[in-house]
Chains A and B, each alone.
Chain A
Amino acid sequence: MAVVEFKGKKFEVDEDGFLQRFEDWCPEWVEYVKESEGIKEITEDHQKVIDFLQDYYKKNGIAPMVRILSKVTGYKLKQIYELFPSGPGKGACKMAGLPKPTGCV
């Protein structure tokens, strides 16, 4: 597994650039990832999505379904892609430090 360094922090990541451990997440992680996810500036809207994903994950141990993400944050899927060009899974979940989506993707 690769280790990346950013602003004095170390992150262990897999080939797809997902954090290996949710506990390693910190705000610097978001700064580090944003470019590779096609994001210039982290806005309040970005932060709202990230915060919700983290809360949901801590509470339920899984990432929310897209429908629930939309419902709770109030962002339609189209807006989520405007915020996170690679989508809620590869984009938002990665930045929020959640484990990599699995299954028949």
Chain B
Amino acid sequence: MPKHETPLLDQLESGPWPSFVSEIKRQSEARHQKQNEVEYQIPVDVCDDVLGVLEMSYNDGTCHWKHGGIVGVFGYGGGVIGRYCDQPDKFPGVAHFHTVRVNQPAGKYYTTEYLRQLCDLWDFRGSGLTNMHGSTGDIVLLGTRTEQLEEIFGVLTHEMNQDLGGSGSNLRTPACCLGESRCEFACYDTQELCYQLTMEYQDELHRPAFPYKFKFKFDGCPNGCVASIARSDMSFIGTWRDEIRIDQEAVAAYIGGELKPNAGAHADGEWGPFDIQKEVIDLCPSQCMSLEDGKLVIDNKECVRCMHCINTMPRALRIGNDRGLSILVGAKAPILDGAQMSSLLVPFIKVEPPYDEIKEVIENVWDWWMEEGKNRERLGETIKRLSFQKLLEVTGIKPMPQHVQEPRHNPYIFWKEEEVPGGWQRDIKEFRKLHQR
């Protein structure tokens, strides 16, 4: 017999998609039957009360969590999102319902051994409910009480060699696409760079020292499987600067129909036989491809590395050999002054351990933003307020045409005094000698 009636939530148990309601009910069942033979450290009916409070929200259309919550572990300024129910008497199981962010491995590869260990810990000291994973990347342990936080942190660090993720005005948990681990498009080892920079900047991640939050994300190529350009203040996107490698035999196999375009991604639609002219050459955004005597030709100096041709004929076209990444900056959600995607700052940089060149760009940006950024101002907003030019100055990067999609159309152009012969100090009397009032 469930603790609360949940007629609205029950409707979400039908249909083909995995039902979160059924899953939470199963977890609730397991806790009541003590299937895991553990001495639960938070209320055994926490899952029932989660469903209860959620049903209440479904009924009255409003949230039943109190505002904010400041909890954590000693030594760190973030990592835990405190949360308290605004109906603690009705739902004591979720009176405290804090979320613990756990720093996930780059690319989110796991062994069952690790996951079992984590689940054992969470069954014992938490709700048994999780989010795999938060949008930033963290493993999210969903719901525990304040007294358990240091205990959980102790087991994570001492027994599992596992740290918390980030929260607050700091470097949040970096994340990457799975990169070279299983993608032939990867232009650098995204997992390694993500891991190395996470380790390098542990202090910045655990102890908020920034004007606001700051995120890194690492995409192995412009396809953007981790969406760095939209979801990180600093986006690292792989690319190459030499030629696309063409295997003409494989091109012929695509034309002949032996190889499926886009690796068969459109196999369930009626798109007719592959037409290289229509599906590749005519769709190239820079119109730099052609077919000459059955051979595919690419004018690489005009190619913008958009990935379209490679995505369409992965067996025939491959990324170049001279690889690196581009750094773009400033992406953010709408609050306060509008959504932004990242803007190109460094067109190409090599990715070579110990990544000193990349760290230099990062640290130059931080030095500036930490000093000039206003309270709760994202990097993207600081750039808007103080100008892209200022960003170039502080990073020591020379302005180049690649920095803009198009030049400005307004003529409100600032000049530095030293650029203008004679400077700004002018005497009106000198002027009047030539121009009478």
Contacts and interface: CB of A to CB of B under 8 A. Distances in A.
B211 interface: yes
A86 B77 contact: yes
A46 interface: no
B96 A90 contact: no
Contacts of B71: 16, 90
A35 B376 CA distance: 31
A8 to B, nearest CB: 27
A90 B71 CA distance: 7
Given A67-B211, A105-B168, A89 B77 contact: yes
B207 A101 contact: no
Contact of B74 (A77, A85, A105): A85
Contacts of A89: 70, 77, 168, 208
A15 to B, nearest CB: 5
A6 interface: no
26 contacts: A16-B82, A81-B77, A81-B207, A85-B74, A86-B72, A86-B73, A86-B74, A86-B75, A86-B77, A87-B76, A87-B77, A87-B207, A87-B208, A88-B77, A89-B70, A89-B77, A89-B168, A89-B208, A90-B70, A90-B72, A94-B70, A103-B68, A103-B376, A104-B168, A105-B68, A105-B78
B425 interface: no
Interface size class on chain A is: 20 to 34
Contacts, number: 70
A81 B96 contact: no
A86 B66 CA distance: 22
User: Which 6 A/B pairs are nearest by Cβ-Cβ distance?
Assistant: A87-B77, A85-B74, A16-B70, A38-B74, A77-B209, A105-B168
A15 B84 contact: yes
Contacts of B73: 86
A98 to B, nearest CB: 11
A62 B210 CA distance: 17
Contact of B68 (A77, A81, A86, A100): A100
B69 A16 contact: yes
Interface in A66-91: 66-67, 77-78, 81, 85-90
Contacts of A105: 68-70, 78, 81-82, 167-168
A79 B208 CA distance: 14
Interface in B349-385: 370-371, 375-376
